[in-house]
Each structure stands twice: as structure tokens, then as C-alpha cells.
Amino acid sequence: MKTLAFFNNKGCVGKTTLLYHLAWMFAGMGMRVLAADLDPQANLTSMFLPEPDLEKIWNPDNPQVRSIMAPLNPIIRGLGDIGPTPVQQIAPNIRLIAGDLNLSNFESNLSDAWGKCLDRLEPAFRVTSSLFRITQAGAKDFDADLVLIDVGPNFGAINRAALISADAVVIPVAPDLFSIQGLDNLGPTLSKWRDEWKARLAQNPAPDLPLPQAVMRPLGYVVLQFGIRDSRPVQAYEKWARRIPSTFREKVLKLGADGVNDASKDAHCLGLLKHFRSLMPMAMEARKPVFQLKPADGAIGAHTQSVKNSEEDFRKLANKVLQALEFPC
């Protein structure tokens, strides 16, 4: 089982939509996928579940169907360790740990515990590892092949606790100045968190407590939301697209420049995904990925070929991700 986080501290690059579509693609390829929504905005959860289900999950008086807050509440209230992990069945091969807007209330607990880990306090390690242990329990119960973690676009304590749980990190980027600036900050921050957690692991007073190892290997980047002509970015985006390979290599991987300025020829580029324009609202309305749209959903005429192309694009991307993970596919 592999745990894969999707992260960029620059928002609005299509991170959650990317994870959602890959979850469905991996599932269609026969893999058992657990999606964990660890973003307090809970956008992934709202993509998977209709509003009536969200009302039930977020209802504090409903003991049957709950969100990520259910296992966290004992820790937040100071009543003990994490509780059982609640998961929602989305499809035969997809399960979801539902997000919750109240997850932001856990930020201060995680921030406080991070420092106390250096004092060898077991409760601090239990708090810091709680998201890791919740996702691992959900994966074990479901016998998952992949855990896909969605997080918010920031460098807060929740993201730190979520990302140190990951074996690898996929970095979605858009071909614009803000994504380039995001990569400048992202690489050093991941390295800092990895080193800081390794120092804390050496202070762990409870050898029997399962703890994350903060591997966080940068698996590669996916360039999203740009127009393509003849498999290349249109001129409006080309300036920034050409800077992505070198910025990723130097800032995230800490390697020297290799002269590559074309993402389509960069070994670290997992895929180039164009903007799906009218297909995406159609898919959100139908509550399915774009590559599963049917004529009954409105995918007629020119949309038919676009749906077919999207399936090819996401299948190539899914295979590239599995190869980078060294996962059998």
C-alpha cells in the first residue's frame, strides 16, 4: 500500500479535481483506493457526495455516518486517543474519509504538539500522528492499494501532519507566476518538515506507537489548466510553462539545472492536462469524472471526442504515477 499526497501551497490549480479524477481512474484499473479529505475546505468530499449525505456526515447528533472529526474528537476534547475511522463507500473500489469544515479547529492542537514532541511527551506524538493513524486504519480495514490525501494550499500544521504521512507527493502546477513562486517555497518547506520530524522520531518515548516516516518523496508535477495546440501549450502560457522544469528540479529536488525547458520532455513531469472547459461543470453536475460522461449527461457532439481524449489523458497520467511509485500496473 502506498500513500500519495497532492499538494501545492498555491491554490486554484486544480489539485482536488486532479485527485478526484485519478481516484476514479485508479479504481477503474482495478485498484482499491482510499481518498482522505484532510483539507478543512472539504472540497473533495463535496465532489464525491451529494448534499443530503453531507448533511448527515456533518450532523453532530448522527452517530452512524461521520467525518474525519469523529476519530479526532476524543483527542481534541482531551479524553483519549483517536477513535475508529469512519469511511464512506463511493464505489466498489473507492472509499472516502470525509472531510469537515471543523477540521481547522485541530490546527492549534497539532501546532502545540509539534513542539512538545521534542520534550519526549507521548501525548504529543499521539496528536501529531493522529491523521497518519486514522488514514492507515481506514486503509487496513478496506485493504486499500492506494491512499490519496488531499490537503489545503498552505503551510499550516494540518498540512504538515498530513504530508509527513505520505510516501510520495504529487505537485499540481499551473503555468503562471504564482505556481512558479509556489515551487520556490514548497521544496524547502518539505525538506524542513522532513528533517524536523526525523529529529522528533529520535525522541519518541513509545516504541509501539505507529508513526509516520516522513518519506514525502516528490514524485513529480502535473501541469494543469492550460490550452493545448498540437500537444503543446499555447503561447499565452508558454513563458511560465518553460520555467516549471528548472524550478521544480532546483527548488524541489535540489538538483542542478539540466537545460530542459519543455515540460513534455521533462522526466519529472507526470502529465500535461488541458482545461476541460464545459466538460467539467457537466461532470460536477453528474457527480462523475469527465471520462465517464455519457450522452445522457449532455456529452454529445464534439463533447464525445473530448470525453474519449480525457480518458486517454488520465489513463496515461495514472500509469505514469504508478510507474513513478514503482507500483505494479
Instruction: Look at residue 329 and tell me if it is in a domain.
Output: no
Three-state secondary structure call for residue 117: helix
Instruction: Look at residue 287 and tell me if it is in a domain.
Output: no
- The DSSP result for 160-181, as a single string, is HHHHTT-SEEEEEE-SSHHHHH
Instruction: Look at residue 247 and tell me if it is in a domain.
Output: yes
pLDDT at 210: 96
Instruction: Look at residue 142 and tell me if it is in a domain.
Output: yes
Instruction: Look at residue 225 and tell me if it is in a domain.
Output: yes
Look at residues 268, 236, 251, 226 and name the one whose alpha carbon lies nearest to residue 9: 251
pLDDT at 65: 61
pLDDT at 225: 65
- 141: domain CATH number is 3.40.50.300
- The DSSP result for 133-165, as a single string, is HHHHHHHHHHT-SEEEEE--SS-SHHHHHHHTT
* Low-confidence residues in the chain, pLDDT < 70: 11-12, 63-65, 225-236, 328-329
Number of domains forming the structure of the chain: 1
pLDDT at 230: 42
Instruction: Look at residue 127 and tell me if it is in a domain.
Output: yes
Instruction: Look at residue 289 and tell me if it is in a domain.
Output: no
In 22-58, which positions are buried (b, 16+ CB within 10 angstroms) versus exposed (e)?
bbbbbbbeebbbbbbbbbbbbbbbbbbbeeeebeebb
Reduced 3-state DSSP string for 182-220: HHHHHHHHHHHHHHHHHHHHCCCCCCCCCCCCCCCEEEE
pLDDT at 326: 86
What's the domain range around 67? 2-275
Give how far the C-alpha of residue 271 lies from the chain's centroid of Cα atoms, to the nearest Å: 16
Q: Which three cell numbers stand for residue 96?
A: 472516502
For the stretch 215-238, pLDDT in tens is 999 999 999 865 444 444 456 577
Q: Which three cell numbers stand for residue 322?
A: 504508478
